A and B are shown apart, each in its own frame.
Chain A
Amino acid sequence: MKKSIFIIMLAMVVFSMPMLAQSVSVPLRFDKYYSYQEVVQAVKALNKAYPSLTKAVMLGKSDEGREIWALEINNPKTGKAADKSGVYVDANIHGNEIQAGEVALYFADYLLKNYGKLKQITEIVDRNAYYIIPVVNVDGRYHFFTDGNTMHSNRGLRLPKDDDRDGLFDEDFPDDLDGDGSICEMRKRDPNGQYKLDSEDPRIMVRVKNGEKGEWTLLGNEGLDNDGDGRVNEDSEGYVDPNRNWGYGWEPNYVQRGAGYYPFSGSGTRAVANYMNERPNIIVVYAFHNYGGMFLRGPGNKADGPLNPRDISVYDVLGENAEKIVPGYRYLISWKDLYSTYGDFTGFTSNVIGAYSFVGELFMGAQETYTNDDTKETEPTGFNNKGSIERNRERLKFNDHLAHGSLFKEWTPYKHPVYGDIEIGGWVKHSSRMPHTFMLPDLVHRNASAVIFAATQTPDISMEVFGAEKMGNNLYRINVRLKNKNAIPSMMFAAAKNKLYPKDMLKLSGGGVKIIAGGRLQDKYTKAASYKEFKPEVQFLTVPSYGMIEYTFVVSGKGKLTISYESRKANNVSKQISLSSI
């Protein structure tokens, strides 16, 4: 206990030391992966370069005390951020999924760089507010860069858990025996082994057929039996999965591994939830992960029931466009096409924040090609050499001739304290789930463009007063139309149904004016309407996707009438009319 506190304190001291050279400058670079410290510098650098359009916000700290930063983009000349639709982008909630952070940084960099230059970008910057968190799991990203890792490790939160139930916590991590920064695999010559080397590329391990003689044994990931219990690497960091720790539909650890003891047990997830709750204008959420090339929408599990059909049609507009913006990526339903999750982030944001929410699963291994046959469909490759031998040979050639050996560690002899003479080798941590940096610019631009498309579709509400008529002495009929020219309605239909928060309001007021009746107009020709019995001066509504909604009012009196539309997530509009001019 004391020791771990000491380590945390030490880590905090190390982190608070100023970096000697400011290595990150604007515009940002996307031909490399930024470390955690560089991401923080990038947020600050963007803020420094665009002080009137941005805010850098430290929204909380991780379980090991690292700072979590958000960059907020809003043009104050067009209004306060809170009065505009909020577009939220976060990334790298799994510590190992680092290119996600680059997408978020690119998105910010691109909007700012092109503000005032490209009409479409200028419009969406003026019209929306942006909340961008490039790295949610800051401890994970830090450790992924700093420690020895596989491409899959360091996903979770730094909350100790006794994985092997021996009363000790996180006591048997993998060990980077050769000190190269990657946890690769261990193999040993063994006349009774189950593996042989591929005849064409001896770097590939092939399982022998029944009756065939093997020469090698695979010993698993690089490591030692640190706790001397006869097992190797069985109690590594955590595991609390930060994407299973949110407060909607959460189920405990025995139902779903990685849930944590209770929702928001991670101080980082809790801080992000608070941050979002303080920004109720958020209506679009994109959370970037790797791997597989997918845009996922909810529900996260079957038990949650199908989404509201009218919400689905909104998702479809955004998802079907995203598929085209990023070729090869598929727009899918999380539980049905992938697997069930409980307490995941977008379940929370779509149900509790009330925002249309996507998970972007970045990168497809199939893009790592070494062939001149472009008609051939490249089979997707799993992790850990699990694709076919032929595909593995191609990937290794990609490694040899396009990545120049940087993705695969050649098998190298090592003297292991328990296993004796072994070899360590295999795919390194920067392989398999993320693109080589030469492919990064394409990935970040296309995926950021999917978010930009969503940002063009946030509700854009306008108000028209029409068919005003005098009905007698000081008695008037006034009709109001609210129109939305975009795909995203002013409120999610599910949020309205669940009574998550009060609907938008259409309010009439004015000194000397009395609202006699008011209600939803069903037919503007016959004037059929459903009038609200009490308080006709306040109507509750949502403005639908690509559509409009009409209200009619009967008012008496003299003077000016203010008609205002107030929305939590869409732009507010108001108009004033003079009754005497009718």
Chain B
Amino acid sequence: MTQKWMRMLFLLVLLGIVSSAQSQSYRNATQLNAALQQLAKQNSNMIVHELSKTQSGAALLMLEIGSETNSKTKTKPAIFVLGNPDGTTPLGSEAAIILAEKIKTNKNAKRFTWYILPTLSPDALNRYFGNALFENPVNSRPVNQDMDDATDEDGPEDLNGDGIITQMRVLDPQGTFLIHSADARVMRKASGEKGEKGMYKLYPEGLDNDLDGKYNEDPAGGVNNAINFPHLFKSFKPSSGLWPGSEAEVYAVIEFIYTHPEIAATFTFGNTDFCLVPPKGGRKGSANFSKIKVPKRLAGNFGLDPARTYTMDEIIEHLQPMVPAGMELTPSMIAGFLGLGAAVNPQKEDLSFYGELSKQYKEYLKNLKVNTKRLDPARAKEGSFELWSYYHLGVPTFSMNFFTLEKAKKEKADKEGLTVEQIEKMTPEEFEAAGEEKIAAFLIANNAPKQYTAARLIEMVKGGKLTPEQLAGMLKQMPKPKDDNKISDKVQALLNYSDNELDGKGYINWTTYDHPTLGKVEIGGATPFVYNTPKAELIDSLITLRLPWVFTITEKLPALKIEKYTTKALGSGVYELNIWVTNTAYLPYPTSMGERNKQPAPIILLIEGAGVEAISGKLRTPIQKIEGNTTMKYRYLLKASKGGKVNVTLSSPSIGQYQQQINLK
């Protein structure tokens, strides 16, 4: 039996199916699953759950780590970790596996149950390991992308046999692209405004398999699981899916999370990085808190005027005296009450902890001597797991990106002008002192709307109508200026990385190819995955460097204790009981978003004792909100027999339980 098993293991190792948690190379979906199985086999506190299967039959396996793996209901809070949501960040999957290893030895990690899903899109991940490198973040559900008479019939082909799907450029009288003057490898759009005429058409590398004049417009598969979640889901977009949660993988994750109220926070290891760059606001459609109209039916009851608009502060000021003492109205409470619709921008209160933690993370990276002059992480997409977790679950939602390319060094000419970052930090006086000429140049360089003249802005700053920080914030939202002579930061970073680190393999030189329908073409361009997938030998070091931050954050998740209590006999069997409840950690419970969506369950302060009755206070007191590092006092008048005892339990599925026995005397 053992011999047979050894032979089997040897065979599996040969086939590369069994791999250790140490990452020397990227793992495909099968290997990731094998790694989870192996971890579960080696560790008594780990088990594997199958959440779902993909259309291609791949199992979506998730690892559970903790002291309660045998029990369906948990007393400990849990962290849900999603690696590689769309399948195009193999590094995120590796990080998830390495995290499982780190949890074993981390003391703080034992406070939690950990649910680790190394990828949400095994089918998309496997494309990284295909015969030709092709990046497409969709699962294997057949979707007729081009709405013709066949499905998944026109995918790309590696025509030049270099193992990479890149692009084809072909001279065409109707072409709209030109070769970039600064680097002949780069294509750019011709500027009609400047009187240029394009010369080239660009296509993804491949054949027109269905002979409809379009190239590679209906490759295998269809829905991007990473944009199939319910927050800001976009209907009828290519690859978004027919409805939120239409994909089995996504539905399984949603269902799992809602049946596990112990989940206190989520982490995503992919292209976004909420640890470094807090979730972005600035979306339209959100309630404008500076111009709120109060519906007629409510206005009358509260002495507000339905005809005019109010700011959020005005409403709070007006309503605060009407609520019970001790209850503090917050903007999110008002927004929910007035039916201002779904939140589409992060709550102000939450951005303050995101901002503070981001500062700390930058400091952490600086101390590790990490070069932070890198391309920005991606913004979370509409319909993504990250946004859904923040807006719908209302739990602290963090994400980490373990690798972006180094930014190209700015040319000197750039340094002379003011940057948005410099403006952001300026005081109004400094702004004024910078002078009209310099500010005018800055505005042109940053594509400011024409009505924003330097003189006018200086006037506005002077008058206190605008701060330099607000101006910088506005300009950050503007599309980047069109400078046809400059290669974009992203492409330049890739070119440099390719030249310096990959012998040019990250950006393929164009070579001619005789195409059956297009004639003479050139094949070349950016190599997929290079921008977020470093060489395999770097996996361990990149991840190990940043991963401890996960534990720094989880230490800050809400923790409860009964700080103090007092009892006092008032005579005739009546006792006064005061209890001080403290959140000993940095983060509030719940987040402000959680307060608005009322999704996180209340904390329950329960008083139990034989024959004990409450005269004042409720034996079962729900606590809907407790800020970080804050103590709240609860007062009871209890009727009890002499020498009575009460058990006080403080409990929340996502924080845990705290118990205290109190003698009434």
Contact = CB atoms under 8 A, between A and B. Distances in A.
Interface of A: 1, 162, 165-168, 229-230, 246-255, 261-265, 348, 351-352, 498-503, 505, 507, 533-535, 538, 540
Given A230-B618, A248-B243, A263-B243, 10 more contacts: A166-B622, A248-B235, A255-B341, A261-B599, A262-B392, A264-B251, A352-B243, A498-B236, A502-B147, A502-B148
Given A263-B243, A348-B243, A254 B598 contact: yes
Interface of B: 73, 144, 147-149, 210-213, 230, 233, 235-236, 242-246, 251, 254-255, 258, 336, 339, 341-342, 392, 596-599, 601-602, 604, 618, 620, 622, 624
A507 B149 CA distance: 10
B620 A503 contact: no
Contact of B624 (A165, A229, A246, A535): A165
A255 B342 contact: yes
Contacts of B235: 248-249, 351-352, 498
A229 B147 contact: no
29 contacts: A165-B598, A165-B601, A165-B602, A165-B624, A167-B601, A167-B604, A168-B620, A229-B620, A247-B243, A248-B243, A252-B230, A252-B342, A252-B599, A253-B598, A253-B599, A254-B599, A262-B244, A262-B245, A264-B243, A264-B251, A265-B255, A348-B243, A351-B235, A352-B235, A499-B147, A502-B148, A505-B149, A534-B211, A534-B213
The main secondary structure of chain B at its interface with chain A is loop
B392 A252 contact: yes
B602 A167 contact: yes
Nearest to B603: A167
Contacts of B210: 535
A255 B144 CA distance: 34
Nearest to A261: B258
A249 B230 CA distance: 9
Contacts of B336: 254
B236 A499 contact: yes
Most chain B CB within 10 A, of A250, A252, A348, A352, is at A252
Contact of B597 (A252, A265, A505, A535): A252
Contacts of A255: 339, 341-342
A534 B211 CA distance: 7
B622 A167 contact: yes
A248 B235 CA distance: 8
B245 to A, nearest CB: 6
Contacts of B339: 255
A505 B254 CA distance: 38
B244 A263 contact: yes
B258 A264 contact: no
B602 A251 contact: no
A162 B601 contact: yes
Top 4 closest pairs, chain A to chain B, by CB: A247-B243, A534-B213, A498-B236, A254-B597
A502 B211 contact: no
Contacts of A499: 147, 236
Contact of B245 (A253, A264, A540): A264
Contacts of A534: 211-213
A499 B596 CA distance: 36
A249 B243 CA distance: 9
Most chain A CB within 10 A, of B144, B243, B251, B601, is at B243
Contacts of B341: 251, 255
A262 B230 CA distance: 7
A267 to B, nearest CB: 11
A164 to B, nearest CB: 8
A503 B147 contact: yes
B242 A352 contact: yes
A256 to B, nearest CB: 9
B73 A1 contact: yes
Contacts of B599: 252-254, 261
Contacts of A535: 210-212
Contact of A247 (B242, B596, B622): B242
A1 B73 CA distance: 10
Contacts of A498: 235-236
Contacts of B73: 1
Contacts of B620: 166-168, 229
B246 to A, nearest CB: 7
Contacts of A261: 254, 258, 392, 599
Given A262-B245, A263-B243, A502 B144 contact: yes
A502 B341 CA distance: 34
A263 B244 CA distance: 7
Given A247-B245, A247-B246, A252-B230, A265 B236 contact: no
Nearest to A262: B254
Contacts of A249: 235
Contacts of A265: 255, 258
B230 A500 contact: no
Nearest to A259: B230
B243 A533 contact: no
A72 to B, nearest CB: 23
Given A252-B230, A262-B258, A500-B236, A166 B602 contact: yes
A437 B77 CA distance: 55
Given A264-B245, A534-B213, A251 B604 contact: no
Contacts of A253: 597-599
Nearest to A502: B147
A250 B230 contact: yes
Most chain B CB within 10 A, of A253, A254, A502, A533, is at A254
B109 to A, nearest CB: 27
